[in-house]
Amino acid sequence: TDGPTSGGSGADLGLVGVTKAFGSYLAVDDLTLTVPAGTFFALLGPSGCGKTTTLRMVAGLEHPTSGSITIGGTDVTARRAHQRPVNTVFQSYALFPHLTVLENVAFGLRRRRVPDAVARARDGLALVELPHLADRRPAQLSGGQQQRVALARALVNSPAVLLLDEPLGALDLKLRRQMQVELKRIQTEVGLTFVHVTHDQEEAMTMADQVAVMNAGRIEQLGTPAELYELPRTVFVANFLGQSNLLPGRVREVRDGWVGVDVGGTRLVVPQDRAVSTHGDVLVGVRPEKIHLLPADEELSDDANVVGPGRVTDVSFAGVSTQYQVEVPGLGTLGVFAQNLAGGAQVALGAQVRLAWAPRFTFGLDGSTD
């Protein structure tokens, strides 16, 4: 069957040189990307970066100024929205208030005179785990339940690509986390290609197989959540996905697969394959949770990256971790997250510490912080 639970019926999505200008303003600037069939793909970026415009062009709700869009290898650029094998789930669920949940889900199928519309709508409700609410009206559902109905309504049409435009944005935090897990489960189960637009980095990271980080109409970096987090290639990505310490320095030597960088008089090393640039001004990056705080007088192995001593200027308890700010003369303030493990001791405010981390957790970026 081609029902929503059949699985594996997603299609590749391709964008080639897609640009959208509003007057002289480029909302989307020469975007090229391929989303393999069956991928949970997230377009992640701050407000105004062009992610919704990109999604609307894929849906056929907006026409590219130039470039082409293919679905399953077919060029759909000139096709109208209803002629494309896509469905969109929006933040506003737009359910019909006078119809029951089941009728809402069956609506599109009935209009297209799909023979087993009601049976398929029931399958769709089962998929989103709401079969027991089939006879209710939307007003009698919670926000999260309404969002599931909207999802079922889109899924029963068996689109090759399902587009999700901030679908969880209206839900409270706890419900949003639950729905993230649910969406991922459903996507895995149906095997469709999902393209999910969000400005929430945690949402993109927890759900998506692949994430494209967008900024000012362009893709800054594309990769798996772990790749983007562990090895950001631009300052924007390093700061948008969690926190990064970025220390300005200058390359002094490149040897045996290592780049030696002078950072305010301290020598730090970056694995060459984790360095964007191997000459001139660079930024040496490290995530706060990769850093150990050590007493200023402790012996250190000389293959670690070490800075300091510095002074602890802030200690914030955050449950699973404690977050420190450490001011290092000549380098500025670094953030350090330490897990609160059983038996672990906190470092006191005002303490003199050094900061050490393994070179393999270090990344190198181009340029300066400004």
Strand partners, 355: 293, 307
SS3 257: coil
Q: Binding mask 149-188 vs ligand ATP (x if CB under 6 A, - otherwise)?
A: ----------------------------------------
Residue 308 token pair: 């300091």
Q: Is 88 one of the binding residues for ligand ATP (CB under 6 A)? A: no
Nearest residue to the partner ligand ATP, using Cβ = 52
Q: Which amino acid is at 5?
A: T
Q: Which is nearer to ligand ATP, 122 or 199 (CB)?
A: 199
Alpha carbon separation from 159 to 8, 60, 110, 220, 307 (Å, rounded) = 12, 14, 16, 28, 54
Least CB distance to ligand ATP at residue 278 (A): 34
- How many residues are there in the chain? 370
Nearer to ligand ATP, 58 or 334 (CB): 58
Q: Binding to ligand ATP (CB under 6 A): which residues in 296-315?
A: none
Q: Using CB under 6 A, which of 45, 249, 285, 364 touches ligand ATP?
A: 45
State the DSSP string of 190-231: H--EEEEEES-HHHHHHH-SEEEEEETTEEEEEE-HHHHHHS
State the minimum distance, in angstroms, from the CB of residue 199 to ligand ATP: 5
State the distance between the two ends of the chain, measured CA to CA, in whole angstroms.
56
Say whether residue 215 binds ligand ATP (CB under 6 A).
no
196 binds ligand ATP (CB under 6 A): no
Three-state SS string across 42-58, please? EEECCCCCCHHHHHHHH
Q: Please, are residues 40 and 209 in contact by the beta-carbon 8 Å criterion?
A: yes
Q: How far is the CB of 118 from ligand ATP (least distance, A)?
A: 36
The yes or no reply on residue 49 touching ligand ATP (CB under 6 A) is yes
Among 4, 14, 50, 310, binds ligand ATP (CB under 6 A): 50
